Homo-oligomer: A and B are copies of this chain.
Amino acid sequence: MAAQKQKVFFISDSTGITIESLGQSLFAQFPDTEFVKTVFPFVSDAQEVQRVIANISAAVKTDSTPPIVFTSLADKSLIDLFLSHDMPVLDIFTTFIPQLESRLGTKAKHAVGETHGVGSPIKYVQRIEALDFTLNHDDGTKIIDLANADIVLTGVSRSGKTPTCLYLAMHYNLKAANYPLADADFESSSLPGAIAGVQERVFGLTLSPRQLHKIREERRPGSRYASLEQCEYEVRRAEAIFRATRLPYLDSTSISIEEIATAILQRLKLRTHKNDSHQPASQAK
């Protein structure tokens, strides 16, 4: 049976990233429906809303089901425009703001486009510094500055260190260094000297040898580097080092970059922004 198709529109006075992410969470609960998504970002006045409504109406003209419309529009009068066109919306502000107002005993300011704005200049600079640091510490060669790393990921080549480091820098402003385990390191069961001194900030990544083999084959088909034997050897040695040194580590085989990053924050109990924290609710495995 072909999946049921449903058109979905996201309209935001900012980037639309929040409602798209919300939509994705919700749609995952309806696996038999194929959601066809369109995002209209930076919609901030009545004229633009009218244009969006016309676009949506034209797009769904021949559809048997009406569109699903998610909005994050701080200006209530813009929501009313949708309603006056008989286009019901799922709006995050009208849904949650009244409850927050009553809880906080204060009124929302209904200002446009606050979510993904540049925020405080300090946080912006921290983010860029974190990304610069991470890009400059992506291969373990520049270890001089490891003392300034917030976190150091280690593991065999292609175990997911680089994308995870970039995610941690981009979204949590963390200076994340990457130290690949290589041949010489596998001869010992200690952490390499370069990172042993900062062990409390080191986190290991591993994955199934078969998955590693598949990933490396894409890069260097038929090489010794990519062979299943080599992958099995490296993973076995890396995990032996992690266990011998009681390093916290994670198997990244079937989880996303977001999940790896979240688990690392949780396990290292890193404070990610001032006053914010990730708590380990479950026992570490």
Chain A residues at the B interface, C-beta cutoff of 8 Å: 4, 6, 11, 14-18, 21-22, 24-26, 28-34, 36-44, 48, 51-52, 55, 65-66, 68, 72, 74, 90, 92-93, 95-97, 99-100, 103-104, 106, 108-111, 114-119, 124-125, 127-128, 131, 135, 138, 162-163, 166-167, 170, 215, 218, 254-259, 261-263, 266, 273, 275-279, 281-282
Complex: how many Å from CA A90 to CA B170?
A: 27
Chain A facing B: main interface SS: mixed
Instruction: Decide: B262 and A17 in contact? CB cutoff 8 A.
Output: yes
Q: A74-B29, A97-B29, A163-B127 are in contact. Are A43 and B281 (CB under 8 A)?
A: yes
Other-chain contact of A281, B31, B48, B74, B104 (Cβ < 8 Å): B48
Of all A-B residue pairs in the complex, the 10 with the closest CB atoms, nearest first, are A28-B114, A29-B108, A116-B258, A15-B262, A25-B115, A40-B281, A37-B276, A118-B256, A18-B21, A18-B25
Instruction: Decide: B39 and A277 in contact? CB cutoff 8 A.
Output: yes
Other-chain contact of A92, B22, B116, B258 (Cβ < 8 Å): B22
Write out the residue numbers on chain B whose beta carbons fall within 8 Å of the beta carbon of A131.
Answer: 162-163, 166
Write out the residue numbers on chain B whose beta carbons fall within 8 Å of the beta carbon of A104.
Answer: 4, 6, 30, 33, 65
- Closest B residue to A258 by CB, please name it: B116
A and B contact pairs by CB, cutoff 8 A, 23 listed: A18-B21, A25-B72, A25-B114, A25-B115, A26-B93, A28-B111, A30-B104, A32-B106, A37-B277, A38-B276, A39-B279, A40-B279, A41-B266, A42-B262, A42-B263, A44-B282, A48-B282, A51-B281, A51-B282, A90-B99, A117-B255, A118-B255, A131-B166
